[in-house]
Structure 1
Amino acid sequence: MKKKSLWLITGLMTIALLGVFVMQSYYIREAYRLKSQLFEQEVNQALSAVADKVQRLNAVSHITKTDYEWRIKMENQRRDKTRRLIDLDQKYKEDERKRKYNQQKQMIDELNYQDGMIRKLYLSPTIISEIDFYDLANQATTPLNVDVNVGFDEELNMIGSNVRKTFRIGSAKTFNLEPKKLPDSIRYLAYSSNGQPLRISLPSLNAEMRAKFEIEDEIAARRRSNALRELQADTVKLNEGDFNVLEAAAKEMSQLDIPLNERISKPILDTLLRAELLNKNIGLKYDFWLKSVTRDSVLFSKVSFVKGEILPANTFKTTLFSNDVIRDPGMLYINFPDRESLILSNLKVTMASSGALLLVLISIFSYTLYAILRQKKISEMKTDFINNMTHEFKTPVSTIMIASEALRDPEILEDKTRIGRLAGIIYDENVRLGNHIERVLSIARLEKKELKLEEEEVDMNALIAAVADSMSLQLQKKEAQLTLHLDAALPAVKGDELHLSNVIYNLIDNANKYSIGSPKITVNTRNSGGKLIIEVEDEGIGMTKEQSKRAFDQFYRVPTGNLHDVKGFGLGLNYVLDIVTQMNGTIKVHSEKDKGTVFEIIIPLN
């Protein structure tokens, strides 16, 4: 991507981000303004409600005494009326009790008279139960056996009788029951003069007496109803509507000698304010004070001192007694020191969502720029890689081509020594070319996780010594001094011997290539905390902190100024990192510009 396009995209994205930020700021400011207006409206409504309640409480307080006296008078009337009604009811109940007693007495007297007549007319009359009375009608089941002996004089008058009977009396009670428990009819078993058993039924209350009693009850009820009407007519009725509360309040309010602080108290005013504010969901701390309009003085307050008309911020006021045109109406003030905190707390969801949205947009914007710049760097490194790879591949291919052309020379064909040397050159360059290709393919397999490492016990001290020996000719070309301090007592680790040798080879090769003059390279091994530590140290050109951070990036090569004698693909250290990581190890780099570099490999022991 060209720089112009990159700057254009960056500029457009910045403008879009700033636009979103401005819109969100405007939205939050408008929301704050609306919340402030709503808060002011609710506070003014609360103050109006408080003033209205104070006026009503004041009106009620003025007529409390008169209203109390009126209610006492009505209560006394109700009590007197209730007492007289109770007396009337008790008198009626007493008369009723006497009347019922007399009626029962008359009924008993009548029953006794009828019983006496039955006993004179019949032989051995006996009161029986209702069941026995009807059982006697059934001759098959009657329990009665009678034997009668009757004597007569010369005129056939009965002079004596002897009745012998056998009768199983049922469970019915006899005539000595209480009158109120008497049945509707009294049943008798009696005998005629010739000894014939007779069933006699005597009503407990005959029709004439029943009619008489009903007339007496009706007359008593009529007398009670008349007495109740006379009692109602004799009582003066007092109604709630007979007392005009508004007229009494007007008379009280017309007085001019009632001070403002006697019409309302500080605790009541504070309670009303708190209740109305809570009804509006306003739980803030507040200060309030009440001022006299006529005297311009503060009567009472919930703050230390208020002077003049210079009001603090977030203060609201209202006339307390707006209906008073004669007396001091009073001015109520209320102040909210923490008003801003309430409004901001109501906006915290909006502000949090806006902030989160901006953070997301900034993150996306930053990541996009990072990705673009990273892709640009990767593109540049890939271009360098392709150039280096082309150069690295071109050299052996050119050498092979020259050697092949030489082999076509008839003179050379006759010289077997030269043919062998040319064949050796072609073989070495082919091996070199194959190593380059294998290195690139190994990195590709590592990226795709397709490279499977062998797990075998490897003696790193011996491996390092073998790699150093194989690189002796290469090191001698630059007159390098390689020093080995293989002090690890436990050098065995589990890993792939081939790739571990490549790791050591890459690190020593880099130390050799990035050194000016005669390279001085030191390889150390030691044990620490159950781990094997391998250090490859050189005194070469070193790296800056920024270069050290990118040393393991793919295709990255430390710049060497205008010199181009250091060849490579920029894949070596990336390969080293991948191999060490797959062995559960770590690699660190410590470097200082123009003083050298130390690569430290830490591998866990078996």
Structure 2
Amino acid sequence: MTFALLGVFVMQMYYIRESYNLKSQLFEQNVNQALSSVVNKIQKTNVISRINKKDFEFKELKGRNIRMQTDSIVAFQIKHKESQALRRLKQRQQVLDYLGIQDSLIRDNFASPEIISEEDFVILSNPTPNDKNPLKLNVDDIKGPNGVLISRRVIPSFFRKRAVLNINRLPDTIRYLAFDRVTGLPQFINLPSIDPELRYKFKMEDAKIEYKYKTELERLYADTAIVYNAGNVSLLQDVAKEMANKDIPLEERMPSQEHLDTLIKRELLSKNIDLDYNYWVKPSNHKGKVIYQNVSLPNGDVLPKNTFQKVIFGNDLMIKDPGMLYLSFPNKNSLIFNNMFVTLSSSVGLLLVLISIFAYTIYAIIRQKKLSEMKTDFINNMTHEFKTPVATIMIASEALKDPDLTPDKARVNRLAGIIYDENVRLGSHIERVLNVAKLDNKELKLERNPVAVNDLISLVVDSMNLQLQKKDTELILALDADPDVVIGDELHLSNMIYNLIDNANKYSPETPKITIKTKNQANGICIEVSDEGIGMTKEQTKRIFDQFYRVPTGNLHDVKGFGLGLSYVNDIIKQMNGSVKVNSEKDKGTTFVIHLPFN
């Protein structure tokens, strides 16, 4: 059984150790995965932050370039409009010069030329006028002193006011009404508002200028589009160039400490790791200062127990200072043991059950062995105790059979008395064994009557007087209990007191000294029976109330008994709701203290 229990214990320890190792490996795997995820997110955060920073810078630069291009386009358009207005002004001046030359020619060749409106021209040129004389001519003759005609001026009365031309809205043809210098007759002169050659010249100039304007404008718009689209390519190229720069300090590549702490906590919780942790970030060469930390680090390069580490930015070949992220768990075992709670509790429970069964089995075997030895002693003692009265009865019976003894009535009565006494003695032994058997089977019924304890003790002492005198026993009675009446069974109480006095007398090797006291205590009576006999050890006092147990006396067997007396005393007291205690020292004596309640 011991080897089997040890085998089960070893197997359970091996199973628990393997389970712990498995949980530790799983924990380390989860932590490493969480660290890898944290490092990946740090790298992505670094790239995103640099892209955002460069994107903002490039947007500012691109905005400035686009504003510059837009300003150039607007300036070009304003310049074009100004040059166009100036050109229009020059063209108008050329038209005015042309009209002035033509007007001068008309005025040189015709008399009184006047510009008329188109409406007047329509009226005057009508071949069937409504008015018979729509054009009235006033002839003004200038004559000399002798009546000779010097000059004549013909003034049409139709016109009261010269028509006014708007230089900005010239008609296609300017109408003149003039008079022939020779005949004096009126006639219409049609003058184009612009010379055809000049018109063609203006058209060609406008087309050429418009072509140049559109071409230059398209070029400016194309440059603006190039600036706008080139920004994204330049952004990615610049970010890639900056990321490849080995000299950027680790501090500038790392996110904020709050962001890093949030990343670590989030990734650990995603792996069902809810533990207090410490972390710090240092350069990979271990020579630089600690960048981030949430715990004071010990001096030296020795890492705390349960510390994990991960390179943050690639390796030393790619980046000058890739940095190291350290993660430590002071309470790693608490999480593992919490995860193993069911396993540990079931294993410990099973081991406790097995150990309890094993201990109980060993205890039962030892107890049965001792009980067997005590029963053997009990049978031997009982055989001896029964053998003596039986042998005495047999001898007395044989003597009664002697015919010579019949006339001697005194001797016959004496032998009959011996047979009677021995039968009583034998019956007493049998009754004692039967009472113990009844107590074990819960068949013994106690009577509930008032019993005066002091008187009962006195009666028992009187009945044992001869037995006590044989050993010159000194008996001291201190019966001070008042009141002394309890509710109980008088017969069994007397047997109980008899057994205690008998044991005190038997286990006192020299002249016995026995003291019996009674006193009131805690709603009951306390009975003390003391002797100055051989006494007992502490181990013996723990077993004296067991059935068949007798205090060993070495090789001497002068003390007779079955080992049932004190077991009987203990059972009777318990059935009366009382208690019994024993105080004893080896070779100094023993005291039994009994407490019986009044009810």
* Shorter-chain TM-score above 0.5: yes
Q: Which residue of 2 aligns with 1:529?
A: 522
Measure how far apart 1:313 and its partner are: 3.9
Measure how far apart 1:35 and its partner are: 1.8
Verify: 1:450 aligned to 2:443, yes or no. yes
Q: Which residue of 2 aligns with 1:286?
A: 278
How far apart in 1 are the matches of 2:465 and 2:381?
Answer: 25
Query: For each residue in 1:27-73, what CA deviation from the matched residue of structure 2 results, as whole angstroms up to 9, or x when unmatched?
Result: 12212221222122112211221222122222222222565699999
Judging changes above 3 Å, is the alpha-carbon distance between structure 1 residues 246 and 577 closer, same or farther for their aligned structure 2 residues? Answer: farther
Report if the CA contact (8 A) 1:291-1:331 is conserved: yes
Helix, strand or coil at the partner of 2:528: strand
Helix, strand or coil at the partner of 1:432: helix
Give 2:239's aligned amino acid: E
Judging changes above 3 Å, is the alpha-carbon distance between structure 1 residues 524 and 250 closer, same or farther for their aligned structure 2 residues? Answer: same
Report if the CA contact (8 A) 1:320-1:330 is conserved: yes
Q: Which residue of 2 aligns with 1:269?
A: 260
How far apart in 1 are the matches of 2:232 and 2:271?
Answer: 32
Verify: 1:253 aligned to 2:261, yes or no. no
Identify which of 10, 25, 40 aligns with 2:28: 40
Question: Which segments of 5 or more consecutive residues in structure 2 lack a partner in the other structure?
Answer: 64-224
Give 1:262's aligned amino acid: E
How far apart in 2 are the matches of 1:21 and 1:538?
Answer: 51
How far apart in 2 are the matches of 1:529 and 1:570?
Answer: 32
Name which of structure 1's ranges 569-578 and 361-370 shifts more when overlaid on structure 2. 361-370
How far apart in 2 are the matches of 1:244 and 1:351?
Answer: 64
Q: Which residue of 2 aligns with 1:411?
A: 404
Query: For each residue in 1:90-134, what CA deviation from the matched residue of structure 2 results, as whole angstroms up to 9, or x when unmatched?
Result: xxxxxxxxxxxxxxxxxxxxxxxxxxxxxxxxxxxxxxxxxxxxx
Query: For each residue in 1:229-286, what CA deviation from the matched residue of structure 2 results, as whole angstroms up to 9, or x when unmatched?
Result: xxxxxxxxx9xxx899798434312133643322223423333222222222223312
Helix, strand or coil at the partner of 1:561: coil
Measure how far apart 1:488 and its partner are: 1.3
Query: For each residue in 1:131-182, what CA deviation from the matched residue of structure 2 results, as whole angstroms up to 9, or x when unmatched?
Result: xxxxxxxxxxxxxxxxxxxxxxxxxxxxxxxxxxxxxxxxxxxxxxxxxxxx
Give 2:408's aligned amino acid: D
Name which of structure 1's ranges 335-344 and 574-583 shifts more when overlaid on structure 2. 335-344
Aligned length: 430
Q: Which residue of 2 aligns with 1:594?
A: 587
Verify: 1:315 aligned to 2:303, yes or no. no
TM-score in terms of structure 2 length = 0.66
Q: CA RMSD in A?
A: 3.0
Q: Which residue of 1 aligns with 2:288?
A: 297
Name which of structure 1's ranges 465-474 and 369-378 shifts more when overlaid on structure 2. 465-474
Helix, strand or coil at the partner of 1:63: helix
Helix, strand or coil at the partner of 2:283: strand
Q: Which residue of 1 aligns with 2:84?
A: none
Helix, strand or coil at the partner of 1:38: helix
Judging changes above 3 Å, is the alpha-carbon distance between structure 1 residues 39 and 391 closer, same or farther for their aligned structure 2 residues? Answer: same
Measure how far apart 1:356 and its partner are: 2.6
Name which of structure 1's ranges 62-71 and 503-512 shifts more when overlaid on structure 2. 62-71
How far apart in 1 are the matches of 2:320 and 2:290?
Answer: 12
Judging changes above 3 Å, is the alpha-carbon distance between structure 1 residues 310 and 254 closer, same or farther for their aligned structure 2 residues? Answer: farther
Give 1:263's aligned amino acid: R
Identify which of 408, 411, 424 aligns with 2:417: 424
Helix, strand or coil at the partner of 1:567: coil
TM-score in terms of structure 1 length = 0.66
Query: For each residue in 1:346-383, what CA deviation from the matched residue of structure 2 results, as whole angstroms up to 9, or x when unmatched?
Result: 33443333223222222221111111000000000000
Question: Which segments of 5 or more consecutive residues in structure 1 lack a partner in the other structure?
Answer: 1-12, 75-237
Q: 1:166-181 to 2 correspondence within 5 Å?
A: none
Q: Percent identity?
A: 61
Q: Which residue of 2 aligns with 1:225?
A: none
Judging changes above 3 Å, is the alpha-carbon distance between structure 1 residues 605 and 246 closer, same or farther for their aligned structure 2 residues? Answer: farther
Report if the CA contact (8 A) 2:307-2:328 is conserved: yes
Give 2:349's aligned amino acid: A
Query: For each residue in 1:560-592, what CA deviation from the matched residue of structure 2 results, as whole angstroms up to 9, or x when unmatched?
Result: 222222111111111111111111111111111
Whose radius of gyration is greater, 1 or 2? 2
Give 1:254's aligned amino acid: K
Identify which of 12, 17, 24 aligns with 1:24: 12
Report if the CA contact (8 A) 1:520-1:539 is conserved: yes
